Structure 1
Amino acid sequence: MESVNTLPIKLQPSNLRPIAYRVFSKKHGLNIKTDALNLLTEVISYKFSFDWKGPKSQQFLEEVAKTWKLEDRGLFIDAPGLKQVLKEINTKSGSLDSSSVYGSRSSSTTSEPERAGRSDTLVDSEEEQNINWEDYFKFINPDQQPHCVFDKSRKQFKVSPSTNSKSKSLIGTLPNNLQNTVELFNNRYHIIYDRLSRNENFQKSSFSSISTINKSLHNGSANEITLIKNVLGRDGSKFILCGLLSKDANDSCILEDSTDYIELNLTQTYKTQGSFYCPGMFVIVEGIYSASGGSSNQSTNYIGGCFHVSNIGHPPAERRDASSENYGNLDFLGIHKQIGNSTANDKVLKINKYFRRKLATLEKSLVGHKLVLLGSECHLDNFKILDGLKKLLHKLENSIIEIMESEDGHVPLALVMTGSFSSSPLTTTNSLVSNISNSETYKSNFDNFANILSNFPNVIKTCKLVLIPGKNDPWQSTYSLGGSSLNCFPQKSIPRLFVSRLERLLPKGNLILSWNPARISYLSQEIVILKDELMNKMKRNDIIFANDLEEEKENLEKVLAQSEEDRINNLVKGGVTGEHIPIKIKHARKLVKTILDQGNLQPFLRETKLINPEYDYALRIEPLPTVMVLNDANFDNFEVTYNGCKVVNVSSLLSSTSRKLNYVEYYPSNKKFSFQELYF
């Protein structure tokens, strides 16, 4: 807020009380104490003068209320807390002098214990210190990540008290916790519904003027999302619904929201192109409610009727910066809490914009950093792959030596290796001797790799080695037998007993045993790495609509009706204008859009993918990450950017047709990827 260039006036708290009540109490459910009202009156007098009733003044009060709620300061606004909020608002507006808002007297009244006890924002002293980039380059597993749960009533995230609980079950076995299983989809629904409430296309209609009323009447009903329970008794009316797409016992498609469920008729449905539609995803449907029809009308606990869907689409994703702002710039990874030595365990740090800008500025200056991410299925029992890894390590060793001599180049900060690290699953047998033999063989694979790595001392000193497990790695493979559908997500890291020689070889802290999915915090960036066969899963479970079949039939008839010359000309024309897009690029874009719109790495029903509800928050990608790396060995390499999130797929490490190693290099300073092929 900018100060008004007029002399301040002397307001009385009684003058401001009605406006404060309307903004704080009536609109935001807050109560302002007398001392806080006195302080706020002084601020408004100084800042807005004779315009204290104007829109800028009310906008300022709105910002105070929103900041107070975002920082979870309680229902009662007191003077000490208000002073800190005013200081933060003034800092965000670009001024670092807090006295310009509420005078030099108020800035000195906050005691040192109050400042030391606050754990929800970064302290000023930390902002002014020189930032060590190594403090903000971390690998975070789900058990280290704060368990943030969305509070649907307050529209904000809070930390679950079970974050560090030792009662959590092992990741290899599903807990018998029905409440967590139910809440898994409820949390996803409320987060998506909250995101849609901020989307301008789904705002509730506001009749603030005659022109607005006329426009609404002319265009029909606004794009408001209706709860399913509210369609009952409104036969023949048109609605927009949002909910979970699933199937009932009759194999009919149904839509569920927080109030009820309704059967869907998809015979005349047109889908929004560029997305997959699988059971377990949250979708938006537009159509007409019919009180008759449907195969579930005989059920006593069903509202009855059927919803004839005309259009179906996904809830559009929101850019990372917008989501972060709406959720109070929370540090969902807990990085800044660790560095700030927070004394409270029940809150998550908030990263103000000033500090985030400092991280981004430092990030851009570190042009010599890079991450090396290998393709998946790094089978260490395959001699071809071991030969390829020798060649790659030799290349990295030489590049590091050149950098040391010339002080120019890109230092590999981490070498990320993605499993499975065995070509066959580590399974149990009836014989104890066979069990020991299988485990020893698996361990010997890592021992052989450690022997190879020992020949490259500069790589050992410089690079962190990150191991991300696959479906054949222990311990899940002992019961899943390498089956992807039986692999529980998130998947725990490889046990240390198998990599003891690697751990002794590398400097302390340089061996990272990561979970799947893995998260990397690099200064202002969040990088998510997932190993899964997502593309095949999407294609297998994608719902085929009747209109899709008719459209394909019409397109085929048009192609067959063309002469050979016309087909060639259309193909050439499409290649020149860009209308003809390869099918693999289309599928890549569909996959990326679907995952990011859903805001979850596994948007499927439990029948399709087993999810441990204790760690479901680790699969959430909302706010969107900066970068997401998919390791789908069954699909080609690609790079797609959607809503500011850059998504790449790194296919299988070893080419099936030649001795060619597939990997990618990522340069965080400019967020660029470089796909590499190394022949050996």
Structure 2
Amino acid sequence: MDSQPTAEEAALRREIVKTFQIHAFELKKEAVKLCVKLFLEHDKDTRKKWTNKMIELLKKQTLQSSLISEELIRETFRQCKSKGSQDAGKLLNVFDAFSLHAYDFEPELGKMVLRKATPTLAADSSSFSHAARQRFLLVKQRAARCASLKNFKFTTCEILSASTKTLKSVVVLGMLTQQKADCYHIEDLSGSIEVEFKEDTKFHHALFHEHSIAIFEGNFENSVLKVNEVAMVPVESAETTRKELSSNENWFGGEDKIAFRCSERLRSALAKQEDTSIIFLSDVFLDDMKTMRALNKLLIGYKDQPPIAIVLCGNFCSRPRQTDTIDLLDRGFRYLANQLQQMKKEYEKTQFIFVPGPDDPFVDLVLPRPHLPSLLFKHVSPIISATFASNPCRIQFASQEIVVFRNDLIKKMCRHSINSITVESISSRYARSILSQAHLCPLPQHITPILADFSHCLSLHPLPDLLISADRFETFQEKVVGTETIVSNPGSFARSNYTFHVYYPAQNRIEASQIPNSELIDEFVPY
């Protein structure tokens, strides 16, 4: 008869089960017992490190089921131990959102500090307020040191709330909120005040919507700030951020202590990779004949000079969330495996990275989202080097930091914007907004829900070298003044005449490409 587990063992058991569930794996009873036995004597950081290593290894295996046995856990743990430092010299690494360490900005210390509490799926109200506070603090500390804002005298909501006077030309940094229909407020860490936008209110070049953190200038009278002008906080390059915070610590992902862009070895390695490329595609419908022809054409076209990685973003099915979607996906990945089988040798050194879309199955509606169902791995994993990533995910190539995010966010941001915009200006306004907010999804919870404890996974602090914002919106690439970060949207491969982007990391350059329709008429696909 089994003895009753101690309180520590019970807590560890729950932690292990929950962590594997986040990544769409389910442990058998014996497997859970073995994990408890293996991890019990270690501290929290070591447990997290080993768990993440095991999960990453499981993702790369050909599994018939998401149910994990004791034998598989034992073998995976053995492989992790023997792997040691084999990946130390590897230039390309993919980091799952759920494996990222959470760093918080501490204003008293003026630096980023590793969060002690372990993120959980079942967050309470304090987690949501903490996430909002961190978003605000990251923008505020950037505004405080911005040279172009030095001459502005900022006030707080608390000071204005206590004033009964009419005040001219008041400047406030705050988050725009809507407490009831057509009644806007701005909030900071001290309180909230009502704001009123006029017909002649000037909005700077960005998208301003609920939960935007911006600079508001206007006249305060009768307890209302009548806004004359609204602007985003200027963006700041990653180099400046690290210089101001006096840190070369790695906040991006992985176990390296030093930031990749601060590593002389990695910068030197990048310089030698002048012709190395990474391909990005979005909306790769594996159940659509014409899309598969286009994908086959792309693979044939690059087989003589294959890229280091091909990042395929969802949706992977043209008929999302239907009863037969998973069957269509299963067939689609099998078709893709057939295509790759014929070019297996040419693409043996290419990493294929699959990022789920907003409508792919087994994926919750909240962000971040776990990888695709593990039952789909079995088709392509034996043929190519494949990584089934979360959404968003982070990719490191040498000293380059790349963030990939698949979400139809642009339309939502435009729909909820309070300023009028032209279609031609959308891409540049979007890029400026996202980089200024330093967050992938600055919309409120009722529009785009986020797991509060994992909001740090969507943070862009410091800014990456490349942000792939894969969206149904038309293809574009933008570079905002003040930073070297490229914001790129490869467009919808299946919906927009097969557009995609090719990135050359050593040159920090994006090349827009397309598969012409005329080349797809008689193209054979091995279904």
TM-score range for the pair, normalised by the shorter chain length: 0.7 to 0.9
When residues 438 and 310 of structure 1 are mapped into structure 2, their CA distance, relative to the original with a 3 A threshold, is closer
Matched, 1:253 2:189: no
Q: Counterpart of 1:638?
A: 477
What secondary structure sits across from 1:157 in the alignment? Answer: strand
Q: 1:651 to 1:133 in 2, by over 3 A?
A: farther
Matched position secondary structure for 1:270:
strand
Greater strand fraction, Structure 1 or Structure 2: 2
Residues 1:234 and 1:322: Cα distance change in structure 2 (over 3 Å): farther
- Secondary structure at 2:308's aligned position in 1? strand
| 2:41 paired residue number | none
Tell me the equivalent position of 1:154: 109
- Counterpart of 1:588 in 2: which secondary structure? helix
* Residue 452 of structure 2 is aligned to residue 452 of structure 1: no
Distance 1:604 1:247 in 2: 12
1:384 to 290, 293, 297: 290
User: What SS does the corresponding residue of 1:321 show, helix, strand or coil?
Assistant: helix
Q: Deviations over 1:118-140 (max 9, x none)?
A: xxxxxxxxxxxxx9995242111
- Indicate the SS of the match to 1:391: helix
- Identify if the C-alpha distance between structure 1 residues 236 and 422 changes in structure 2 by more than 3 Å, giving closer, same or farther: same
For normalisation by structure 1, the TM-score amounts to 0.60
Task: Name the CA shift for 1:442/1:600 in 2 (closer, same or farther; >3 Å).
Answer: same
> Is 2:360 the counterpart of 1:360?
no
8 Å CA contact 2:432, 2:480 repeated in 1: no
User: How does 1:59-74 map onto structure 2 within 5 Å?
Assistant: none
> The residue matched to 2:189 in structure 1 has which SS?
coil
Aligned-partner Cα distance in 2 for 1:630–1:424: 22
Q: Which has the higher helix share?
A: 1
Unaligned runs of 5+ in 2: 1-85, 521-527
- Compared CA separation, residues 154 and 535, structure 1 to 2 (3 A): same
Q: Partners in 1 of 2:467 and 2:123 — Cα distance? A: 31
Q: Which segment is superposed worse, 191-200 or 438-447?
A: 438-447
For residues 117 and 381 of structure 2, what CA distance do their matches in structure 1 show?
31
The equivalent of 1:395 in structure 2 is 301
Alpha-carbon deviation of 1:641? Answer: 4.1
In the TM superposition, residue 584 of structure 1 has moved relative to its aligned partner by 4.8
Taking the aligned partners of 2:400 and 2:200, their CA distance within structure 1 comes to: 40
2:415 — aligned with what? 540
1:669 correspondence with 2:506: yes
2:252 partner amino acid: L
After superposition, the Cα gap between the structure-2 partners of 1:176 and 1:320, relative to the gap in structure 1 and judged at 3 Å, is: closer
Equivalent of 2:212, from 281, 302, 313?
281
Assess, with a 3 A threshold, how the Cα gap between structure 1 residues 352 and 137 changes in structure 2: closer, same or farther: closer
1:369 Cα deviation from its structure 2 partner: 1.1
Matches within 5 A, 1:161-560: 161-163=116-118, 168-169=120-121, 175-203=122-150, 222-231=151-160, 232-233=162-163, 235-238=165-168, 239-267=170-198, 270-290=201-221, 292=222, 305-327=223-245, 328-335=247-254, 337-338=255-256, 349-351=257-259, 356-374=263-281, 376-397=282-303, 399-400=304-305, 411-427=306-322, 438-476=325-363, 487-506=365-384, 510-544=385-419
Secondary structure at 2:498 match in 1: strand
Could you give the per-residue CA deviations for residues 592-618 of structure 1, whole angstroms, max 9, x where no partner exists? Answer: 111111111111111211111121001
Preserved CA contact (<8 Å) 1:466 1:514:
yes
Q: CA deviation at 1:234?
A: 5.2
Q: 1:585 to 1:358 in 2, by over 3 A?
A: farther
2:230 and 2:195 map into 1 onto residues whose CA distance is 11
Work out whether residues 244 and 256 of structure 1, in 8 Å CA contact, stay in contact via their aligned partners in 2.
Answer: yes
| 3-state DSSP of counterpart to 1:604 | coil
1:483-532: CA deviation from partner (whole Å, max 9, x where unpaired):
xxxx31112110211221212222xxx21111111211112211111112
Matches within 5 A, 1:56-95: none
How far 1:187 moved relative to its partner? 0.7
TM-score computed with the length of structure 2 as normaliser: 0.76
- CA separation of 1:673 and 1:176: change in aligned 2, threshold 3 A: closer
Counterpart Cα distance in 1 of 2:191 and 2:234: 23
Distance verdict in 2 for CA 1:267–1:179, change over 3 Å: same
Q: 1:371 to 1:225 in 2, by over 3 A?
A: same
CA apart distance, 1:438: 4.7
Closer, same or farther in 2 for the Cα pair 1:661/1:324, shift >3 Å?
same
- Give the SS at the match of 1:188: helix
Deviations 1:228-269 (A, max 9, x none): 111222511232111110111253010001111000021255
Structure 2 distance, partners of 1:364, 1:358, is 10
Compute the displacement of 1:586 (Å). Answer: 2.1
Q: How big is each residue's C-alpha offset from its partner over 1:629-663, in whole Å with a ceiling of 9 and x where there is no partner?
A: 1211232333434422111211111355xxx4322
1:455/1:250 CA distance change after superposition, 3 Å: closer
Distance 1:368 1:233, change over 3 A: closer
Q: Secondary structure at the match of 2:433?
A: helix
Query: Aligned partners of 2:486, 2:199: CA distance in 1, in Å?
Result: 35
Question: Which 10-residue stretch deviates more, 588-597 or 145-154?
Answer: 145-154
Q: Label 1:357 to 1:225 Cα distance change in 2 as closer, same or farther (>3 A).
A: farther
Partner AA of 1:187 in structure 2: Q
Contact 1:202 1:223 in 2 (8 A): yes
Specify the alignment match of 1:39 in structure 2.
none
Larger Rg over CA atoms: 1
**Matches of 1:423 and 1:392 in 2, distance apart?**
20
Which position in structure 2 is the counterpart of 1:50? none
Identify the residue that residue 493 of structure 2 maps to in structure 1: 653
- Give me the whole-angstrom Cα distance separating, in 2, the residues matched to 1:653 and 1:500: 24
- C-alpha separation between the residues in 1 aligned to 2:191 and 2:449? 25
Contact 1:268 1:310 in 2 (8 A): no
- 8 A contact 2:260–2:401 mirrored in 1: no
SS across alignment from 1:669: helix
- Number of the residue aligned with 1:73: none
Give me the whole-angstrom Cα distance separating, in 2, the residues matched to 1:441 and 1:655.
18
The one-letter code of the counterpart of 1:321 is E
Of residues 120, 144, 163, the one that matches 2:99 is 144
Q: Secondary structure at the match of 2:190?
A: coil
Instruction: Kindly provide the amino acid, as one letter, of the partner of residue 102 in structure 2.
Output: H
Shift of 1:669: 1.1
Fraction of identical pairs, as percent: 20
Relative to structure 1, the CA distance from residue 161 to residue 495 in structure 2 (aligned partners, 3 Å threshold; closer, same or farther) is farther
Please, what is the CA RMSD of the aligned residues?
Answer: 2.3
Aligned twin of 2:49: none
Paired AA for residue 414 in structure 2: K
2:439 is aligned with 1:600 = yes
Residue identity opposite 1:462 in structure 2 = K
> Offset of 1:472 from its aligned partner?
2.0
Residue ranges of structure 1 left out of the alignment (5+ in a row): 1-130, 170-174, 204-221, 293-304, 339-348, 401-410, 428-434, 478-486, 549-582
Change (3 A) 1:312 1:141: same
Inter-partner Cα distance in structure 2 for 1:590 and 1:466: 29
- Answer yes or no: is the 8 Å Cα contact 1:447–1:499 preserved in 2: no
- Tell me which amino acid in the other structure corresponds to 1:519: R
**Displacement, 1:440?**
3.2
Letter in 2 for 1:361: S
